[in-house]
Amino acid sequence: MGRYILRRLISVIPTLIGVTLVIFLFQRLIPGDPAVAMLGEHATEENVARIREQFGLNRPAFLDRDALAEGDLTGFFDSQYIRYFRRLVHLDLGDSIHRRIPVAETLKERFPATLELSLLSMFFALIIGIPAGIASASRRNSTVDGVTMVGSLIGVSMPIFWLGIMFIMLFSVFLKWLPSGARLSTGVEIQTITNLLLLDSLLTGNFAGFVDALKHIIMPAVALATIPAAIITRMTRSSMLDVLQEDYIRTASAKGLAERVVLFRHALKNAFLPVITIIGIQAGTLLAGAVLTETIFSWPGIGKWVYDAILGRDYPIVQGVTLLIALIFLLVNLAVDLSYAILDPRITYD
């Protein structure tokens, strides 16, 4: 298994290089000039040219053919992408065009907020999706099955932005139970250790801070969890139905084993492989889906940050965040593949 893990980790490198190429190319296809976006529409040509020179935006995107024609090999490779790739080799994501501070520095501040939101959303998706799928499969064609399938269909169909707005209108505006944005109320402080506020408040024994942080995160987490929960429910049901028709399940039931034992000890373990694949995909998707959710709830994570960067054509921020999400996707997929051998001993990676 060690050799398999090493091969997979090595394969991450060309994949990330391909991701950087795609990100870089598609960003440059978006209409708009970062220099104009930073200075405003009424900026003079001299100021725009100065900003483009300062950030290297006046260089060719990939390779300088004019420099090659003149025999200047150094200038031939002195392009925007090559400069960007050189910085990545040194783990430098560049500086924000608008704020003039390192992208990695802001990423360290904002990513824990997105990670905390995604982890809590996945927790909600799992505690809802897996039990609902099991209940639906064990009572096929019953009222429970019908209600579960209708509920999962609604969960998949509802746009997150609409659900988020409805949550804010109901729980923040009308009932006034929950705050509509931010991570903490004004005046509430939590000593930061990991910058995951729920965890930090528990580690420091700050119960009041924990309750306040939970009130702020509960709405965006539930809104973000609706689609993953619905997908996990449907996949769990489908996989369980296939396994429940196997002969060994009938044999276990015929031996007089309790339904709970048959479902959880025999059926669920064998039905969990396709489910864990979906869980891995959804775990990575939550990070990408957080962009819209964080914008609606004014959540100070990377989603809102990259949304503003896209509008402002702040290339280094978009490139850095997208690269991070791609890396997380790759690592989550590796973890899912390795979990197969744990769930099914017949699978080996030798």
* 27 burial type by CB count under 10 A (0-12 exposed, 13-18 middle, 19+ buried): middle
State which amino acid sits at residue 42: H
Residue 73, domain member (yes or no): no
| Residue 323 contacts residue 16 (beta carbons within 8 Å) | yes
User: How do the residues of the chain divide into helix, strand and coil, expressed in percent and rounded to 5?
Assistant: 75, 0, 25
Give the whole-angstrom CA distance, residue 260 versus residue 235: 20
**pLDDT at residue number 211:** 92
Residue 59 DSSP code: S
Tens of pLDDT, residues 43-100: 677 777 777 776 666 676 666 566 555 555 555 556 777 777 778 888 888 778 777 7
| Residue of higher predicted confidence among 343 and 327 | 327
Q: Give the position of tokens 């409805």.
A: 166
For the residues 252-256, what does the mean pLDDT come to? 76
Tens of pLDDT, residues 323-342: 888 888 888 887 887 777 77
Residue 72, domain member (yes or no): no
Residue 235, domain member (yes or no): yes
* 175 burial type by CB count under 10 A (0-12 exposed, 13-18 middle, 19+ buried): exposed
Q: How many domains does the chain have?
A: 1
Give the whole-angstrom CA distance, residue 119 versus residue 287: 10
Residue 172, domain member (yes or no): yes
Residue 8, domain member (yes or no): no
For the residues 178-206, what does the mean pLDDT come to? 87
**pLDDT at residue number 101:** 83
**pLDDT at residue number 267:** 77
Q: Quick one: residue 131, left, alpha or beta (phi over 0 = left, psi -120 to 50 = alpha)? A: alpha
pLDDT at 185 over 80: yes
For the residues 283-292, what does the mean pLDDT come to? 74
Nearest to 296 by CA among 208, 164, 143, 103: 164
Q: Residue 16: which pLDDT band, with cuts at 50, 70 and 90? A: confident
Q: How far is CA 111 from CA 94, 194, 294, 310, in A?
A: 17, 11, 12, 17
Please give the share of the chain, as a percent, with pLDDT higher than 70.
84
For the residues 279-304, what does the mean pLDDT come to? 79
How crowded is the C-beta side of 50, counted as CA atoms within 13 Å? 7
Residue 138, domain member (yes or no): yes
Q: Residue 123: which pLDDT band, with cuts at 50, 70 and 90? A: very high
Phi, psi of 63 (to 5 degrees): -135, 145
**Neighbour tally for 332: CB within 10 Å:** 18
Residue 332, domain member (yes or no): yes
**pLDDT at residue number 214:** 92
**pLDDT at residue number 219:** 92
Q: How far is CA 114 from CA 68, 287, 303, in A?
A: 44, 7, 7
Range of 176's domain?
108-343
pLDDT at 200 over 70: yes
Supply the mean pLDDT for the chain: 80
| Residue of higher predicted confidence among 215 and 75 | 215
Question: Of 11-20, 22-31, 137-146, 225-234, which range is least confident?
Answer: 22-31
| Residue of higher predicted confidence among 345 and 317 | 317
| Residue of higher predicted confidence among 183 and 74 | 183
Residue 30, domain member (yes or no): no
CATH number for the domain that contains residue 119: 1.10.3720.10
